[in-house]
Structures are given as C-alpha cells and as structure tokens.
C-alpha cells in the first residue's frame, strides 16, 4: 500500500507541475468514475466493472497529457478524441457543469484507483482512506502554492 500511495503522490505532483491550465474535454470513462464516487457506491460489482476502464484510462490519459503538452493553442479541439470513445466539454457533478484540466482528470482517476483498492482489500480500508485524504491534501497544497505564486497563469 505504501508503494502504491508513494507512486500516486509522485504522479500527482508531476501532473500538477506540468499542468498547462488549459481546459480539456472529459472522456466518458472519467464521467463514469465521477458518478460512482459521488454516489458513494462501494458495491463490488459496480466498482469491478470499471476496472477495465481504469486500466484503459491510464494509457489513454497518458497520451492525452502528452498531446496536450505539445498543443500550443488551448482552444484547439482535443486531438486525442478519436482514441477515446465519447467526451464532453464539462465534468458533470450533481447536475452542475465544471471545466477541468488534465491534473483534475489525473486526480479523478487516482480516486477511482483508491476506491478499487478499498474494495479489493477491505482490511486496508482505513489505511487507504487516510492515504486518500493525504492525496487530496497534497493536491490542494500544490494548487494553492501554484496560485499563490502565479504559476497557474
């Protein structure tokens, strides 16, 4: 669990340090992850049904991040759209629409992976929750730091 968590912290830090702060489209798989998290659904069947999506999102999202870094015009259409089934301009949570950046998609994917971990190893649920809280604190701290020192502009 410790290795998994340390890797996620490193990935999150890297994603935030390389963030271009340009809006990206939200693939449908990410919207599904958000729905499961918001619903608080811990049903093994529902979460395990998303396992393949989480795995495919990892590879798809890596290419999405790389292509966004190469894109100089943030208003251009998402070049990775043909490789991802459906996408939306917004992440919809409780019927509210949110524009998101790549690091938010990375965080959302990580939240789903932590949920899978809790589901697959129930004995570690308390430890996973503590580490998930730490992940969210790291995300918040780095974002606040970047805004404070205007690195996000």
Q: Which residue has the higher pLDDT, 53 or 139?
A: 139
Q: How confident is the model at residue 64 (pLDDT cuts 50, 70, 90)?
A: very low
- In whole angstroms, give the CA distance from residue 142 to residue 144: 5
**Count of CB atoms within 10 A of residue 39's CB?**
10
In the DSSP assignment, the letter for residue 3 is: H
CB 47 within 8 A of CB 115: yes
- In whole angstroms, give the CA distance from residue 117 to residue 110: 10
Q: What's the pLDDT score for residue 50?
A: 54
Of the candidate ranges 19-28, 40-49, 107-116, the one whose mean pLDDT is the lowest: 40-49
Q: How confident is the model at residue 38 (pLDDT cuts 50, 70, 90)?
A: confident
- Looking at the 3D structure of the chain, how many domains does it have? 1
Q: Both tokens of residue 113? A: 């992976």
Domain that holds residue 70: 2-148
Q: Which residue has the higher pLDDT, 38 or 105?
A: 105
Within a domain: 28: yes
Per-residue pLDDT tens over the stretch 70-128: 443 444 444 444 444 688 999 999 999 999 999 999 999 999 999 889 888 999 999 99
Q: Tokens 């998402």 identify what position?
A: 78
Q: What's the pLDDT score for residue 86?
A: 84
Within a domain: 153: no
Q: Tokens 């590879």 identify what position?
A: 59
Of the candidate ranges 14-23, 41-50, 61-70, 97-106, the one whose mean pLDDT is the lowest: 61-70
């Amino acid at each position: 669990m410790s290795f998994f968590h340390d890797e996620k912290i490193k990935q999150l830090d890297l994603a935030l340090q390389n963030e271009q702060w340009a809006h990206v489209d939200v693939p449908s798989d990410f919207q599904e992850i958000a729905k499961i998290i918001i619903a608080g659904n811990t049903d093994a069947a529902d979460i395990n049904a998303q396992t393949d999506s989480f795995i495919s999102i990892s590879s798809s999202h890596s290419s999405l991040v790389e292509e966004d870094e190469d894109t100089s015009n943030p208003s251009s259409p998402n070049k990775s759209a043909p490789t991802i089934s459906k996408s939306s301009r917004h992440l919809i949570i409780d019927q509210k629409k949110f524009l998101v950046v790549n690091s938010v998609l990375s965080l959302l994917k990580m939240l789903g992976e932590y949920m899978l971990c809790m589901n697959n190893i129930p004995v570690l649920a308390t430890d996973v929750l503590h580490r998930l809280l730490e992940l969210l604190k790291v995300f918040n701290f780095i974002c606040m730091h970047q805004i404070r020192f205007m690195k996000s502009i």
